[in-house]
């Protein structure tokens, strides 16, 4: 596969740019992609690429095609069976997203290696044309594409807003602009600052935050928190028309300016901070959550764990008895006891053991049922969805003997274990199993009486 990627990279020798309104690229646009139009939202074009050293009709060891997306165009969610797909981005700005993961912003020179069996989509950003080379690497028979549902407008809008390039924390730029404004220009300046902040975060995927603030003791002292995904994102930002309008419009308003670069003390907290402000819909959270069966081994953050546990605390229970008891298992000794009881930890470094007090449950009329299992299930469901909302993958585990596990962990005799919840981050290439996407029509599961 490395050889194939090297061959593809050598093709990228032509300088190419794409503006938001028109296609301006050295790469061929090709013909309308009519054969696959039913699987695309918006217009796409397809141009087969023939190696220059081969005559027309000669066979090549690897086929290449250049796919062009108009602004706003994307393909449906889909899965490749029996093959990896390699995307080499050659022009414009695009988005790639795997099911249950954050969207990735793409520029010329970026490479995406899509594992076999992973549900995903890709396409242009809402404001830019996008071109990529596509090639398939055979890994098994039969080889096929499974086309699924379209990417909804809501999912696409969220991806445009949240898509970021793959960068380490060292690539991220965090800055506080310390600005003093002349009093006579204060209100006008605040309007400029508000407009550039809102527009930048809304329209530039690489701009994570631009947040202007005023000092209470001196309202002419302005501080702007700026966070960019990378130096490249920052350089793109300062060339945009809205930033230039802000810069030129406020030159005479600013008495002093100091750009103070900062270092992050807790980068892992950013995902929690921004997840609180992004307000994803419940449907997005419920549909993106899947049973993760291979974790990276990275520990989840303290803030993320706290948000998950708080969701369980807030869960409703019968008569508000709150009979649940959550055990956070993180020590090597306790994790080893989990491993002795089930093979289903999958490398997670945090497990939640969800139990309930059998002596503090509500017995329903008739005396045949009590609230213990259902209340603990409600608590567990709240926590598993809360995990998804803060970027933590999970797996609901019941493959164990609850009495033996309770004994090994030293739980009180009055407590019964409902389930174990694995928490962590999915290992590279890990995604939902194929059966995860199979859902019965609502008419088969809902009846009106």
| β-strand partners of 45 | 32, 68
Break the chain into its structural domains and give their ranges.
2-162, 169-262, 277-434
Beta bridge partners of 49: 64
- Residue 269 clears pLDDT 70, i.e. is over it: no
pLDDT for position 8: 45
Which range is least confidently modeled, 61-70, 291-300, 313-322?
Answer: 61-70
Cβ atoms < 10 Å from Cβ of 99: 18
- 102-147 pLDDT per residue, tens: 788 888 888 999 988 899 999 998 888 999 999 888 888 888 889 9
- Direct distance between the N- and C-terminal alpha carbons of the chain, in angstroms, rounded to an integer: 57
- Pairwise pLDDT comparison (101 vs 73), residue with the higher score: 73
pLDDT at position 428 is 79
Q: Which run of H or E residues covers position 384?
A: helix 372-389
Domain 2-162 has CATH 3.40.50.720: no
CATH superfamily of the domain spanning 277-434: NADH Oxidase (3.40.109.10)
Contact 297, 349 (CB under 8 A): yes
pTM: 0.47
Average pLDDT over residues 311-319: 95
- Other C-beta atoms closer than 10 Å to the C-beta of 18 total 24
Instruction: Pick the more confident residue, 242 or 268.
Output: 242
- Alpha carbons 431 and 85: distance in angstroms, whole number: 16
Q: With b meaning 16 or more CB within 10 Å and e meaning fewer, what string describes 41-75? A: beebbbbebeeeeeeeeeeeeeebebbbbbbbbbb
H or E stretch covering 73: none
pLDDT at 24: 66
Contact 97, 146 (CB under 8 A): no
CATH architecture of 169-262: 2-Layer Sandwich (3.30)
What is the DSSP secondary-structure string of 188-237?
A: HHHHHHHHHHHHHHHH-TTEEEEEEEE-SS-TTEEEEEEEESSHHHHHHH
The token duo for 307 is 């948000």
Q: For residue 80, what pLDDT is reported?
A: 92
Instruction: Average the pLDDT over 77-101 and give the result.
Output: 90
């Amino acid at each position: 596969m490395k050889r194939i990627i090297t061959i593809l990279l050598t093709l990228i020798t032509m300088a190419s740019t794409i503006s938001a309104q028109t296609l301006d690229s050295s790469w061929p646009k090709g013909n309308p992609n009519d054969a696959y139009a039913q699987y695309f939202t918006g217009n796409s074009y397809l141009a087969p690429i023939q190696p220059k050293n081969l005559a027309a009709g000669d066979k090549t060891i690897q086929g290449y095609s250049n796919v062009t997306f108009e602004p706003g165009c994307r393909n449906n969610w889909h899965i490749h069976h029996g093959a990896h797909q390699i995307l080499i981005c050659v022009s414009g700005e695009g988005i790639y997203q795997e099911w249950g993961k954050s969207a990735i912003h793409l520029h010329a020179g970026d490479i995406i290696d899509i594992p076999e069996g992973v549900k995903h989509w890709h396409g242009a950003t809402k404001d830019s044309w996008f071109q990529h080379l596509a090639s398939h690497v055979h890994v098994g028979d039969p080889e096929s594409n499974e086309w699924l549902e379209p990417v909804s407008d809501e999912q696409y809008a969220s991806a445009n807003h949240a898509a970021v390039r793959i960068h380490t924390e060292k690539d991220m730029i965090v800055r506080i602009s310390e600005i003093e404004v002349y009093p006579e220009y204060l209100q006008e300046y605040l309007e400029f600052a508000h407009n550039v902040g809102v527009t930048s975060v809304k329209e530039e995927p690489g701009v994570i935050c631009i947040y202007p603030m005023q000092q209470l003791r001196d309202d002419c002292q302005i501080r702007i928190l700026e966070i960019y995904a990378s130096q490249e994102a920052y350089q793109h930002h300062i060339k945009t028309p809205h930033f230039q309008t802000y810069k030129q419009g406020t030159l005479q308003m600013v008495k002093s300016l100091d750009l103070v670069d900062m270092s992050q003390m807790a980068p892992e907290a950013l995902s929690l901070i921004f997840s609180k402000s992004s307000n994803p819909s419940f449907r997005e959270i419920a549909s993106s959550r899947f049973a993760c069966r291979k974790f990276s081994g990275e520990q989840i953050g303290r803030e993320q764990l706290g948000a998950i546990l708080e969701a369980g605390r807030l869960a409703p229970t019968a008569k508000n008895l709150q009979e649940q008891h959550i055990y956070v298992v993180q020590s090597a000794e306790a994790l080893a006891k989990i491993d002795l009881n089930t093979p289903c930890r999958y490398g997670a470094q945090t497990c939640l053991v969800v139990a309930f007090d059998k002596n503090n449950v509500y017995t329903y009329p008739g005396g045949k049922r009590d609230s213990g299992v259902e209340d603990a299930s409600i608590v567990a469901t709240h926590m598993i969805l809360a995990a998804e909302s803060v970027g933590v993958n999970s797996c609901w585990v019941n493959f164990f003997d609850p009495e033996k596990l309770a004994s090994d962990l030293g739980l009180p005799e009055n407590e019964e274990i409902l389930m174990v919840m694995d928490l962590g981050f999915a290992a590279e290439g890990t995604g939902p199993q194929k059966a995860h996407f199979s859902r019965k029509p609502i008419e088969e599961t809902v009846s009106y009486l």
